[in-house]
Structure formats: C-alpha cells, structure tokens
C-alpha cells in the first residue's frame, strides 16, 4: 500500500493554530481515516485532546496504532460523522474548539482492491465505507429501477449519459446480476460515446463516484453533519472542510454562507442584537493544492478547502 499522505497538511495546521495553541483544546476529526492529520495536530499542540470518528473499522484500527504515541489524548469512535452530537454528549462535551472533515474515499480504501472503490482493478462491487452494514454497489445496480439509476448518475456523478447508462445496466442485469467491477467498466466503455471517452476522462469515473455516494449516503449525511458540527463550535473555534468534488464543495459553501450573513433586516441602521453573523470565513472561495503538492500526492489534485471561525452564538 502506498504511504498515506495527508492533503494540505501545512495549511490545515496553520488554520487551526489560533484556536488550539497554548490551551487545553478539543478538536473533532470527523473523518480520521489513517490518522495523518490527527497525528500532526496532536504533535503540534501538546494540550490538545482529539476525538476521531470514522465509519470504517479497518481505518480506525490503523489510526489507533498511529496515534498510540499520544496516549489518552486521542479518543477514537466507530461512527459516521452525522452522529457527532451523540458522540460529544457521550463524552460529556458541549463545545469544541475545532472540527475537521476530510471528505470522500480514503487512499486506503482506494488501495484495497477488495473494497471495490477503484475502477482500474477488477473487484467485488462493494463500495461500502463501513463494510459491516448496508447495501452494496451491486445491490444498487441490481435492484434500482432505471429512473432511480438515472437520477443518481446524473445528480451524484454529473454524468451526461446517465439515462443511456441506466438503460444499459437494466438490460445487462437481466442476463446476469452484477457482482464485479470489471463487467461494469466494460459496459460503460461500450455505452459512453467514443468522443466523450477521448475527452472526458475515464468513462467509469463518474458512475463509480455516483455509486459510492449513493451506497454511503454521503451527501445526505454531510447535509446533516455540517450544521451539527457548526453548532458544536465554541466562539473562536474553527472548522476546516476538504472536499473532492463539486457536490460536496457546494454543500459546504452554502452551509458556511448561511451563517456568515447578518440576519438583521435590510434597511435598519444598526445590527440587531443576536442577529449578526455567526461565522467568519477564513478562505476566499475554495483553496486548492499547489502544483508541487499535487506532484507529490496526486489525490490533492481535486481538493477544495474551505474554513470558517465561529464569531457569534446561535440565537433561538
């Protein structure tokens, strides 16, 4: 397995430093993965206590080994990140000083052929981030009607040929159910028009992305998790989100923007108490990785980073 390289690590350390330095702070790594970001944050801030969440038991085992040198300062929980409020309640925490999301599929999941995330190698069509529960990509392919397949390919994969691919899947599964990725990739090569294959990247990329998002409920979970994470931030606390496709980034942008605006009605000469912005945006738009980092770590090529600081409490 290739060495795990955390994306935009230096920038993340820089963004969190004002909220974590020289104090007994708490940070939630909502997608702890292999623990690369968590390890660096704990090393940089001796007073930091970190709560790491991940839905993948294998990733948690690897993160636990990596973070063992920090002792009881790292507390890892097998949970999807929309369970953040429940996890914090169980730990007796009402507010935290930082929240980190590194979204999407991890390098470990891509490197493990048996997980079925990568279209470049034949593997079982699984794609579950938590392989202990829930439907697989094969279940989606073999049971969803054409209209529903079209919807997820169009909405989650931004696939131009969604309806054509969905019809081909439904016709092909009548011959035999889908169970392995190589057969799906062959179908996609045969279905996506040749000019698009030449200019639009690998013809399986968008379909595999859409299936992964559907299997893991990624966007629905993110839409619920972001408000919960923002609500958990103490004043002065910071949130950093790394997204890897436009649907995630759009969700993050909208969640941040909603709390960075004043709610005082237009035309009033002064800000109404309790109606000011709750967030201060720390990035101008979405930040991207530089050429040097992308050369070292190709996964960084699609990252979009946004960050914000809590500056006011929510009001009822």
- Answer whether 145's CB lies under 8 Å from 168's CB: no
Sequence-distant (≥ 6) Cβ neighbours of residue 72 within 8 angstroms:
none
Longest alpha-carbon distance in the chain: 69
Backbone angles phi, psi at 58, to 5 degrees: -65, -45
- Asked if residue 156 belongs to a known ligand binding site, the reply is no
Q: Which of 1, 4, 214, 22 is nearest to 102 (CA)?
A: 4
Compute the distance between CA of residue 124 and CA of residue 173 in angstroms, rounded to an integer: 15
- Asked if residue 81 belongs to a known ligand binding site, the reply is yes
Rounded to 10°, the helix 162-175/181-191 angle is 130
Residue 139 buriedness (CB in 10 A; 0-12 / 13-18 / 19+)? middle
- Asked if residue 109 belongs to a known ligand binding site, the reply is yes
- Asked if residue 244 belongs to a known ligand binding site, the reply is no
Q: How many CA atoms lie within 13 A of 230 on its CB side?
A: 29
Sequence length of the chain is 316
Q: Is 103 left (phi over 0), alpha (psi -120 to 50) or beta?
A: beta
- Answer whether 184's CB lies under 8 Å from 204's CB: yes
* SS3 labels along 131-142: CCCCCCHHHHHH
- According to DSSP, the residues that pair with 51 across neighbouring strands are 28, 75
Query: Is residue 99 classed as helix, strand or coil in its secondary structure?
Result: strand
- Asked if residue 54 belongs to a known ligand binding site, the reply is yes
Which residues make up each annotated binding site for S-adenosyl-L-methionine? 35-37, 54, 81, 102, 109
Which residues make up each annotated binding site? 35-37, 54, 81, 102, 109
């Amino acid at each position: 397995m290739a060495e795990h390289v955390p994306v935009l690590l230096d920038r993340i350390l820089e963004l969190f430093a004002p909220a974590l330095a020289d104090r007994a702070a708490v940070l939630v790594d909502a997608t702890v993965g292999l623990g690369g970001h968590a390890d660096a944050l704990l090393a940089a801030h001796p007073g930091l206590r970190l709560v790491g969440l991940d839905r993948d038991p294998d990733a948690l085992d690897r993160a636990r080994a990596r973070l063992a040198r920090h002792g009881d300062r790292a507390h890892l929980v097998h949970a999807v990140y929309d369970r953040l409020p429940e996890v914090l309640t169980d730990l007796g925490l009402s507010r935290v000083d930082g929240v980190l999301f590194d979204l999407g599929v991890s390098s470990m999941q891509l490197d493990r052929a048996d997980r079925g995330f990568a279209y470049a190698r034949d593997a079982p069509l699984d794609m579950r981030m938590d392989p202990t529960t829930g439907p697989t990509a094969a279940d989606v392919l073999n049971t969803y009607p054409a209209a529903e397949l079209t919807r997820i390919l169009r909405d989650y994969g931004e696939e131009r040929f969604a309806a054509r691919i969905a019809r081909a899947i439904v016709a092909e599964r009548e011959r035999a159910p889908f169970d392995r990725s190589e057969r799906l990739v062959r179908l996609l090569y045969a279905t996506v028009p040749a000019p698009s294959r030449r200019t639009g990247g690998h013809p399986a990329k968008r379909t595999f992305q859409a299936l992964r998002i559907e299997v893991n409920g990624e966007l629905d979970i993110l839409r619920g998790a972001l408000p919960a994470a923002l609500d958990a931030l103490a004043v002065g606390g910071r949130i950093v989100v790394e997204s890897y496709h436009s649907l995630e980034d759009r969700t993050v942008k909208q969640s941040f923007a909603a709390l960075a605006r004043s709610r005082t009605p237009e035309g009033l000469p002064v800000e109404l108490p309790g109606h000011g912005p709750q967030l201060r945006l720390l990035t101008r738009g979405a930040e991207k990785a530089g050429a040097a980092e992308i050369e070292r770590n190709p996964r960084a090529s699609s990252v979009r980073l946004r960050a914000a600081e809590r500056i006011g409490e929510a009001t009822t």
